[in-house]
């Protein structure tokens, strides 16, 4: 088993079938820069403990620097005979600095503590990229809210017209969900910033190496407190995949609305040409593919976290090779979000809203019926009766085929003597939204306040 990390106790080399199953370089090669960073840190710990002379350390670090340059340039890639990124890089290091020095680096570490650390480093870096992209999307939502401060939308529950709301209020609602995702990434990072390096295969090292030194060198907060847990746990990976899935789900909910708003029937939005697609057969088509792909990829992100949880379920301590299955799903979650988020943000930033169309539809479906009931309450009618009266007015208007605002004085009195013509004061969508002026409500003053708070929360997260 020439060049492998193991083999002496075996009579022969591994079968080709085993090699084909075992090989992970086609997906773990993205960890190569992190593996090299880990090796630098480990070499520093070996030096501090007296296992490398100053000269050896200098040659080791220089060799590792050359490896990183070769990985970055694409000149160094894994060979078909390499089992994983760790073995491939040890081979390459030996080619750089010779077998004697290259062979010293593996002392006191195992691929088990290495891989558990590297995946954290990789995820922390990509979490920062994803957080930046989520922030950009929140910025786009805020900019659209600012550009449409007075636009009114038919607010819906059960997808039915419910009560008019400010478009800005609705857009900012998506901003709050995404802000919580940012907060989740931040909270997750506290747990992710621990270093399992030094845990060895599972039980720790006999060589007196300093795991705190390694953690520091890698920019991590501190070593994992328990070497078995450090090498065998993957909850940090699963939690990341969950947050990624939740971001996907939050995008998918907005995506679904954009798809609806973009239909001829709604006609609330027009997509920019640069963010929509055509049909190969129907020349007139302009499709919301970004929103549909975002919606579809949410399923894939859920699949990744489900798969990871299934891998972890009932897995005994400590390291088992099953854990190699953590990488492809979570790498896919990262790649998926990194391609979906920029496209989604571009689509949102360039959306054009037909605010006249929204305003026309906002009062339809008797969406001001609650305002009538609240007006009666302010006039001293118990809400239970007010609800009945307003409901009866809806029924009368519905059978007359008119809106609430079109009810004649006679019809109002016929429904209830409490309904005087003054009720018409609340039968406008502008009056309706302005009157919902409690904290969190849709009144313009409140929505502007919420926007300030949203911007601050997204920045702080």
Sites of contact with ligand ARG (CB under 6 A): 24, 84, 111-112, 115, 319, 321, 323-324, 327
**Shortest approach of ligand ARG to residue 370 CB, angstroms?**
57
Q: Active site residue: 22, 53, 267, 279, which one?
A: 279
Distance CA 224, CA 215 (A): 9
Q: What is the DSSP letter of 416?
A: -
Secondary structure element (H or E) that encloses residue 154, with its range: strand 152-157
- The residues facing 287 across adjacent strands are 277
Closer of 170 and 327 to ligand ARG (Cβ): 327
What backbone torsions phi and psi does residue 74 show, to the nearest 5 degrees? Answer: 90, 0
Closer of 24 and 227 to ligand ARG (Cβ): 24
Distance CA 112, CA 320 (A): 9
**Shortest approach of ligand ARG to residue 278 CB, angstroms?**
43
Q: What is the DSSP letter of 79?
A: -
**Shortest approach of ligand ARG to residue 332 CB, angstroms?**
15
Distance CA 425, CA 436 (A): 15
Closer of 111 and 424 to ligand ARG (Cβ): 111
**Shortest approach of ligand ARG to residue 280 CB, angstroms?**
42
**Shortest approach of ligand ARG to residue 79 CB, angstroms?**
16
Classify 110 in phi/psi space as left (phi over 0), alpha (psi -120 to 50) or beta: beta
Closer of 310 and 400 to ligand ARG (Cβ): 310
Q: Active site residue: 15, 158, 280, 399, which one?
A: 158
Closer of 111 and 174 to ligand ARG (Cβ): 111
In degrees, rounded to 5, the angle at the alpha carbon of residue 90 between the alpha carbons of residues 88 and 96 is: 110
Distance CA 82, CA 91 (A): 9
In degrees, rounded to 5, the angle at the alpha carbon of residue 359 between the alpha carbons of residues 356 and 361 is: 110
C-alpha torsion sign, points 243, 248, 253, 257: positive
In degrees, rounded to 5, the angle at the alpha carbon of residue 205 between the alpha carbons of residues 201 and 211 is: 100
Task: Give Cα separations from 170 to 35, 273, 441 (angstroms).
Answer: 45, 24, 11
What backbone torsions phi and psi does residue 234 show, to the nearest 5 degrees? Answer: -135, 20
Q: Half-sphere exposure of 439 toward its Cβ, with a 13 Å CA cutoff?
A: 1
158 is catalytic: yes
**Shortest approach of ligand ARG to residue 275 CB, angstroms?**
38
- Please spell the DSSP secondary structure of 125-136, one letter per residue: HHHHHHHHHHHH
279 is catalytic: yes
Secondary structure element (H or E) that encloses residue 96, with its range: helix 85-97
Closer of 9 and 321 to ligand ARG (Cβ): 321
Closer of 26 and 264 to ligand ARG (Cβ): 26
**Shortest approach of ligand ARG to residue 109 CB, angstroms?**
11
Q: Half-sphere exposure of 24 toward its Cβ, with a 13 Å CA cutoff?
A: 19
The catalytic residues are 158, 279
């Amino acid at each position: 088993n020439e060049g492998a990390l193991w083999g002496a106790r075996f009579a022969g080399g591994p079968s080709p079938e085993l090699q084909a199953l075992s090989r992970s370089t086609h997906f773990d090669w993205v960890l190569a820069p992190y593996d090299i960073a880990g090796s630098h840190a480990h070499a520093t710990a070996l030096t501090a403990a007296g296992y490398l002379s100053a000269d050896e350390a200098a040659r080791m670090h220089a060799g590792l620097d050359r490896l990183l340059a070769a990985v970055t340039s694409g000149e160094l890639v894994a060979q078909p005979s390499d089992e994983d990124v760790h073995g491939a890089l040890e081979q390459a290091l030996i080619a750089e600095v010779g077998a004697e020095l290259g062979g010293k680096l593996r002392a006191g570490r195992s691929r088990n503590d290495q891989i558990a650390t590297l995946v954290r480093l990789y995820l922390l870096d990509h979490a920062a990229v994803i957080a930046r992209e989520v922030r950009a999307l929140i910025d786009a939502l805020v900019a659209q809210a600012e550009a449409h401060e007075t636009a009114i939308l038919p607010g819906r529950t059960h997808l039915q017209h419910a009560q008019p709301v400010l478009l800005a209020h609705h857009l900012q609602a998506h901003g709050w969900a995404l802000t919580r995702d940012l907060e989740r990434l931040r909270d997750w990072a506290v747990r992710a910033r621990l270093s399992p390096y030094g845990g060895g295969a599972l039980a720790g090292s006999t060589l007196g190496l300093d795991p705190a030194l390694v953690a520091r060198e890698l920019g991590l907060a501190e070593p994992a407190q328990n070497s078995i847990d450090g090498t065998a746990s993957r909850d940090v990976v699963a939690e990341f995949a969950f947050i990624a899935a939740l971001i996907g789900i939050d995008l998918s909910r907005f995506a679904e609305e954009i798809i609806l708003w973009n239909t001829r029937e709604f006609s609330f939005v027009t997509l920019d040409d640069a963010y929509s697609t055509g049909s190969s057969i129907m020349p007139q088509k302009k499709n919301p593919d970004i929103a549909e792909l975002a919606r579809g990829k949410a399923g894939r992100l859920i699949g990744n976290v489900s798969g990871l949880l299934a891998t972890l379920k009932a897995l005994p301590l400590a390291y088992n090779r099953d854990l190699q299955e953590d990488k492809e799903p979570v790498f896919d979650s990262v790649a998926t979000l990194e391609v979906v988020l920029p496209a989604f943000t571009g689509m949102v930033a360039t959306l054009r809203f037909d605010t006249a169309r929204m305003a026309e539809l906002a009062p339809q479906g008797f969406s001001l019926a609650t305002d009538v009931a609240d007006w009666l309450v302010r006039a001293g009618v118990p809400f239970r009766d007010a609800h009945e009266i307003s409901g009866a007015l809806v029924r009368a208007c519905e059978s007359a085929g008119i809106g609430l605002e079109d009810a004649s004085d006679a019809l109002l009195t016929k429904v209830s003597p409490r309904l005087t013509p003054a009720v018409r004061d609340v039968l406008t969508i502008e009056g309706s939204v302005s009157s919902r002026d409690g904290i969190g409500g849709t009144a313009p003053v409140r929505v502007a306040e919420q926007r300030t708070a949203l911007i601050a929360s997204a920045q702080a997260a």
